[in-house]
A and B are shown apart, each in its own frame.
Chain A
C-alpha cells in the first residue's frame, strides 16, 4: 500500500552526514554500488560501461560545491571561499512524496523503522516517484526497467550472519574519514541524535515539506591560516615545563 504509515514510525533509521569531514573520495559511492549490485533486488546495471557515453544507476553520489561568502566575488574578498563535498543518497523522508505517488504499491515506507523501499516485482517503471523526489534519490535501472533507490542496506543492518561491526550501510562502513553515521534518529539518546543536536544538523530543502530523516552536519567555521601559524611560534617558549625539564631550562637560561 502506498499510503504512508499513519503513525510516526517508532524507529527512524537514517544517516547523518558530516560535511565538515567528507573529503570527496567517492569510496561510499563505489562501495554502495558494489554491495547493492549483488544484494537486494536486480543488479544495478550500467549502460555502455566501456563506451564513451557511460551511464548507470547509482544509489549514492557525491557532488562538490563551492561556497562563496556573501559580499565576495573575488577570492579572499569577504573571507575564503570553500569547497564542500556533498554525498547524497535517499533521505528516507517521513512525508515521502515518492511513496504516495506510486500507482502500483511498489513504493512503500516500512512502518517499523521508516526505511523507504521499492518492491521491484510490483514496479512498472513509470518513473513518477523519481519525478516527485526533489533530491534525485531515485534512479531508473534501464536494464531491469524498475526504480532503484537506497535501501539503507537493509540486507546488512539486520543481517546476523555478518560481524556486528559490519551491520551498517555499506557507505557508512567504508567511509575512511568517518563522515557518514548510521543510527536511529527517533531515539534522542542515540549517537546520531546527539551529534545532530550538538552540531546543529540540518534538513535539506525543508521547504519541500518532505521531513527528511537523514541530517547533514554543516562544516565547522574555518580557522584562519594565521591562527595555526601562531601555534607554531609558541614552540620556542618553555612555559609549562615541569620537573627535570624545568630545572634544565633554568640552568640553561643561567649559563
Chain B
C-alpha cells in the first residue's frame, strides 16, 4: 500500500496526541504547573494537526462533514464521530487546567477513555479491510493502542521532568508500554511475513483448474490509480533495514534513556528533561518509521491482477 505522508502524519500525530491526553486525563500532574498546561495545549495541537492532515488526501474536503453520517457501518465514520465526541471532555479538561488550574476527575477520566476508543476506531479502519491481509488482524488495533499509550507516557515522562509533577509511575509505564508495543508490532510483522496469501493469481482469475497463472500483459502500459495506490514497491527492499532502525530508535533508545532516569531517581530539572525529551523525540521518530512500514509492507489483493 502507498504510504501517503498525510496518512502517516495523521495516524502518528493523532495517536500521540490522544495518548498524551489520555495520560494527562488521569490527573496525576499538578494542574497549576506550567508544564501540565503546556502538555494539554500540546496534546490538543497534536490531535488537531493529525486530524486536519487526514483531510489533505480527500478529493472533495468541503464535503467532509458528511463523514459523520455512516457510523452504523463504517469505521472511518465512527472515527470521525468519536474524534468530535472526544474533543468535548478534552477541551473541558484543557480549559480547566490552562485557565482555572483545576482538574476534574469526571472530565479527565471520560476523556482518557474516549481517547482510547478513538484510537481503536482509527486502527479498525485498517484492520477491517480483508483485502489487505497484513492489516486484517486484532493485532492491528492492539499495536495502535499500545503505540498511542507508549507515546503518551513517554511524552508525559518528559513533562514530569519539566516540572508537571513527579510521577515515577509514568516513566515505569512508558518503559513497559514501549516494550509491549514493539513486541506486539514484532508479532504483527512476523504474522505478515509468515502468512500464506489468502488470495492468489489462481483464485483471482478462477483458473486454478487449468494450471498456474501468471500475468502476461497488464491492461495498459503506464501506471493507474490502482497500481499507484496499492502497488507500492519503491524502497520495500530496505524494509528489513528500516524495521531494525525503527526498533533501535523507537524502542531501544527511549527504553534505555528512561530506564537510566528511573534507576537514577532523577529529579525534575533541565538535565533530566533533556534526556526525557530525547527519548520522546526518538520514540516519535520510531513510530513514524513504523507507520511508514505498516503501509509500505502491506500487500493488497488487487495486485494479483497486476503481477505484483
User: Chain A residues near B190 (CB, 8 Å)?
Assistant: none
Residues of A178-236 contacting chain B, CB below 8 A: 202-209, 216, 218-219
Residues of the A chain whose Cβ atoms lie less than 8 Å from the Cβ of B207: 19, 65, 67, 84, 218-219
Residues on A with beta carbons closer than 8 Å to the beta carbon of B80: 103
Would A204 and B59 be within 8 Å (CB), given that A66-B216, A139-B225, A209-B130 are in contact? no
| Complex Cα spacing A57 to B224, Å | 8
B206 at the interface (CB under 8 A from A): yes
* Residue in chain B with minimal CB distance to A82: B210
- Check if B229 is an interface residue, CB within 8 A of chain A: yes
Q: How far is the CB of A121 from chain B (nearest CB, A)?
A: 8
Nearest CB of B to A14, in Å: 15
B57 contacts partner chain A, Cβ-Cβ < 8 Å: yes
B25 sits at the interface (CB 8 A): no
Q: Are A65 and B74 in contact (CB under 8 A)?
A: no
Q: Count B-side interface residues using an 8 Å CB cutoff.
A: 58
* B52 contacts the other chain (CB 8 A): no
In chain A, what residue has the closest Cβ to B75?
A: A101
Instruction: Enumerate chain A residues within 8 angstroms of B213, measured Cβ to Cβ.
Output: 65-67
The A92-121 residues at the B interface (CB cut-off 8 A) are 97, 99-106
A134 CB–B CB distance under 8 Å: yes
With A140-B59, A145-B60 in contact, do A132 and B70 touch (Cβ < 8 Å)?
no
Q: How long is the Cα–Cα vector from A146 to B60 in the complex, in angstroms?
A: 7
Name the contact of A131 in the complex, choosing from B64, B72, B74, B129 (C-beta under 8 A). Answer: B129
Partner of A68, one of B75, B209, B212: B212
Determine the chain B residues whose CB is within 8 A of the CB of A203 once the complex forms: 206
- For residue A125, CB closer than 8 A to chain B, the reply is yes
Distance in Å: Cβ of A29 to nearest Cβ of chain B: 7
B106 CB-CB contact with A under 8 Å: no
Q: In the complex, which residues 125-155 of chain B have their Cβ closer than 8 Å to any Cβ of chain A?
A: 125, 128-132
Interface residue B302 (Cβ < 8 Å from any Cβ of A) = yes
Q: Is the CB of A2 within 8 A of B70?
A: yes
User: Do B76 and A86 touch across chains, with their CB atoms under 8 A apart?
Assistant: no
A207: chain B residues within 8 A (beta carbon): 198-199, 203
Q: Is B274 an interface residue (CB 8 A)?
A: no
List CB contacts (< 8 Å) of A37-80 with chain B: 53-58, 61-70, 72, 79
A136 contacts chain B at the CB level, 8 A cutoff? yes
A248 at the interface (CB under 8 A from B): no
**Chain A residues, Cβ within 8 Å of B229:** 127, 130-131, 140
For the complex, give the distance between the alpha carbons of A230 and B214 in Å.
Answer: 33
A55 and B225 contact, CB distance less than 8 A: yes
| Bound Cα distance A61, B131 (Å) | 20
* B205 interfacial by beta-carbon distance below 8 Å: yes
In the complex, whether A247 has a CB less than 8 A from a CB of chain B is no
Nearest CB in chain B: distance from A23 CB, A: 13
A126-B58, A134-B130 known; A29-B73 Cβ under 8 A: no
Q: How many chain A residues have a CB neighbour from B under 8 Å?
A: 70
Q: B90 to nearest A CB, angstroms? A: 22
Asked if B215 contacts A124 (CB within 8 A), the reply is no
A133 in the interface, Cβ–Cβ < 8 Å? yes
A130 pairs with B226, CB closer than 8 A: yes
Residues of B within 8 Å of A11, CB to CB, are none
Q: Is A83 an interface residue (CB 8 A)?
A: yes
A209 and B206 CA atoms in complex are apart in Å by 15
Given contacts A128-B125, A134-B302, A135-B302, contact A2 B206 (CB under 8 A): no
The verdict on B204 contacting chain A, using a C-beta distance below 8 Å, is yes
In whole angstroms, how far apart are the Cα atoms of A29 and B218 in the complex? 13
Contact of B61 with A by CB under 8 A: yes
CA distance A72 to B80 in the complex (A): 53
Q: Which chain A positions have C-beta within 8 A of B224?
A: 55-56, 58, 139
Verify A105–B66 contact, CB threshold 8 A.
yes
In chain B, what residue has the closest Cβ to A54? B222
Cβ of B60: which chain A residues have Cβ within 8 Å of it? 123-125, 145-146
Q: Tell me if B118 counts as interface (CB < 8 A to partner A).
A: no
B205/A140 in contact, CB under 8 A: no
Query: Is A104 a contact of B66 with CB atoms below 8 Å?
Result: yes
The complex places the Cα of A137 from the Cα of B203 at a distance, in Å, of 16
* CA–CA, A34 and B12, complex, Å: 43
Contact of A69 with B210 at beta-carbon distance under 8 Å, contacts A103-B80, A135-B302, A146-B60 already known = yes
A238 — which chain B residues lie within 8 A by C-beta?
A: none
Asked if residues B57 and A127 are in contact (CB atoms below 8 Å), the reply is: yes
B230 near A131 (CB under 8 angstroms)?
yes
Interface pairs (17), CB distance under 8 Å: A61-B220, A63-B219, A64-B216, A97-B129, A99-B73, A103-B77, A104-B66, A124-B60, A131-B129, A133-B302, A134-B130, A134-B131, A139-B226, A204-B203, A205-B203, A207-B198, A218-B206
Chain A interface residues (CB < 8 Å from chain B):
1-3, 19, 29, 53-58, 61-70, 72, 79, 81-84, 86, 88, 97, 99-106, 122-128, 130-136, 139-142, 144-146, 202-209, 216, 218-219
| Seed contacts A131-B300, A132-B129; 5 additional CB < 8 Å A-B pairs | A58-B224, A65-B201, A146-B59, A204-B204, A208-B130
Task: Give 3 nearest A-B pairs by CB, closest first.
Answer: A125-B59, A145-B59, A61-B219
